[in-house]
Structure 1
């Protein structure tokens, strides 16, 4: 990692797991100078933001952002005060880096619509030009399914001719296909477990299915960087939740050993279930 200090995490899987020997993961720590300058920048922008809000209040400076009408003041606001403040005074200055319209498939690389602003990013005008082959770092296209050419597109077209584009039913009723079970068996062999279950991806997949797997008297061991949908599902389940360090097998093993040895709080009865909750790919 060059001259940057690193936080090193040692992880090992024993008993013939996926890895035969310990492996080392290294994460770059933020240099102190960069962290200090970043916080200073936020502080300066915040001070000037309050100054500009004062000028807007007295109609000295024009405010372009959408605001509630006077007769709507008694209703619950759509945004918190500081969220509005952040949008007006900080986010607007760098808004041209986000929400960029695209004019191609969201693959590994994509084309962007070129635009300019003459009022400090409050509004944009399109120039008619495009920015070609920009690296895509903001998409869920992990496996390349969004491409319109290549192996994934060809395989999708071929399978659609055999199975159609959907089953229009849940798997529990008449929506279970042989390729679903083939995929789950392949996934189980890859992970080295007895069986696996696959779901369509979505926020409700995690938040609604976790309460069906665990409940009171159960323990959930959750990675500290799990998505909000997993966190919500764990809370809705009513299970006891304990968090282990991200991708740290020693931290997980320590919590797991304690859970097995000590059992439930107060009664020390064995947990009904212990669910280890991690993601396959973290954003």
Structure 2
């Protein structure tokens, strides 16, 4: 297994080494995976031929014949994958939930008479499904306890919605309290909260950069970051994931050559990275990124959607994880949708930055204010994490998440599976590779009352399909054991590994069983 290590610049604050795990796809697995996609492609074109002659019914939206002479509405090749593979595994996603998405949840049962083009609900409920798919890292997605009680009180006091933007008549005192608390939690001068996490990126990056600016973006950045960068009108250059040599080369070239054609210096160079990458489970090499940012006089935009609350000894994200100074990050962004069990996002930094965004951000000027019970949920959960509720519940949850992450990752590794990411990341991708395994894995796990997320192309490289487990502090050790039992290559081999497990896991022979019985 290929591992890269990095020891933090401040070992007094955080002594654990930075360890990442990535493994090249075995050659045999890669060949078989490509063969699988090849066979699917052949059958897909055969089915398209049958659909063209109306031998097989086509469910996908299509233009009328008289429209095909003009600009086509649907790109046939781009929809090929959707028609022939995605629709066959779509039953693994978007299942209706009829309970709190905590450690366990209840799912509405549904069936499809037409291979997942449409669904019908049976009226039955699958109860007590272990939730390994949601981002409930600290277990605050619950309907009882301090957060729920405080949200109910806020609803009774303020109502469920504001019905206006904050710059008009939608600014409540609870919003002011939330932003002051977030700034204190992050260790920055000021912060601003937004009602939607996706819009926090897509609507604020265009306010920070524009024509004549350069954005250096990690190749695995989230779609919201990509959209925000494109909307800004800035020049975008992509560096290899977590590769500091690639980033430094782009920075050096940007300084030497300047803008295309004119060769004038860039007005602004913005490095955009994430704290934890949700598909890879990797943690950004933040100390090295900050060092490069300072050396080349660039700015740093850090998206902590998955890392805030889930990393660091105090649960304050990747900056806390490495023991760094928050002031070294120019724009600290994060969401309340994961560790805080709520909705929305924030941006923190210098007061001048936040004051500027209040007057130039489309999300700040045109979006409806955050719902008051949501704001109260964030305030209460954040105070618990900070220990301001007078208990150690927050510290206990942060520690429990770390222990659960370490336990589950080690368990999968010891069983011989290839898993990606950092050892401390609660996002645990387990590689499946084969296209047929994508749907089968999700269905078979659900049969055993385990809800998982399975991901394939185009969300991942074509030969790197995977199952993604998200660990929570609400999970018990027994739950994690229950999840690992069905996928164990010893007990119930859903998908026998093509290679020998990393550690010696042998099947007991009949003679050994008889000897043990005597």
1:182 aligns to 2:176 (yes or no): no
Question: Does the CA-based 8 Å contact 1:185-1:195 persist in structure 2?
Answer: yes
Q: How big is the shift at 1:224?
A: 2.3
Question: Does the CA-based 8 Å contact 2:218-2:241 persist in structure 1?
Answer: yes
Q: 2:124 aligns with which of 118, 126, 129?
A: 129
- Tell me how far apart the structure 2 counterparts of residues 158 and 252 of structure 1 sit (CA, whole Å): 51
Q: Deviations over 1:164-217 (max 9, x none)?
A: 44444444455163313322322331xxx4444433324333222212112244
1:254 aligns to 2:278 (yes or no): no
Q: 2:45 aligns with which of 46, 50, 67?
A: 50
Q: How big is the shift at 1:280?
A: 1.4
1:148 aligns to 2:146 (yes or no): no
Q: How big is the shift at 1:81?
A: 0.3
- Tell me how far apart the structure 2 counterparts of residues 255 and 226 of structure 1 sit (CA, whole Å): 19
- Tell me how far apart the structure 2 counterparts of residues 50 and 179 of structure 1 sit (CA, whole Å): 58
- Tell me how far apart the structure 1 counterparts of residues 11 and 165 of structure 2 sit (CA, whole Å): 37
- Tell me how far apart the structure 1 counterparts of residues 76 and 96 of structure 2 sit (CA, whole Å): 28
> Secondary structure in 2 aligned to 1:114?
strand
1:97 aligns to 2:92 (yes or no): yes
| Superposition RMSD in Å | 3.8
Question: Does the CA-based 8 Å contact 2:179-2:190 persist in structure 1?
Answer: no
Partner of 1:277: 301
In structure 2, relative to structure 1, the CA distance for the partners of 1:203 and 1:132 (3 Å cut) is: same
Question: Does the CA-based 8 Å contact 1:118-1:124 persist in structure 2?
Answer: yes
| TM-score under structure 2 length normalisation | 0.44
Partner of 2:203: 208
| TM-score under structure 1 length normalisation | 0.74
Q: 2:222 aligns with which of 220, 227, 237?
A: 227
Q: How big is the shift at 1:115?
A: 3.2
Q: How big is the shift at 1:222?
A: 2.5
Q: Deviations over 1:229-254 (max 9, x none)?
A: 21122233233434344445x45873
Q: Which has the higher contact order (CA 8 A, sep 6+)?
A: 2
1:82 aligns to 2:77 (yes or no): yes
Q: How big is the shift at 1:17?
A: 9.6
Q: Which runs of 5+ in 2 are unaligned?
A: 270-297, 307-426, 428-518
Partner of 2:326: none
**Counterparts of residues 157-168 of structure 1 (less than 5 Å):** 157-168=152-163
Q: How big is the shift at 1:98?
A: 2.8
Q: How big is the shift at 1:67?
A: 4.6
Question: Does the CA-based 8 Å contact 2:180-2:191 persist in structure 1?
Answer: no
Q: How big is the shift at 1:63?
A: 1.3
In structure 2, relative to structure 1, the CA distance for the partners of 1:77 and 1:148 (3 Å cut) is: farther
Q: How big is the shift at 1:99?
A: 3.6
> Secondary structure in 2 aligned to 1:154?
helix
Q: Which runs of 5+ in 1 are unaligned?
A: none
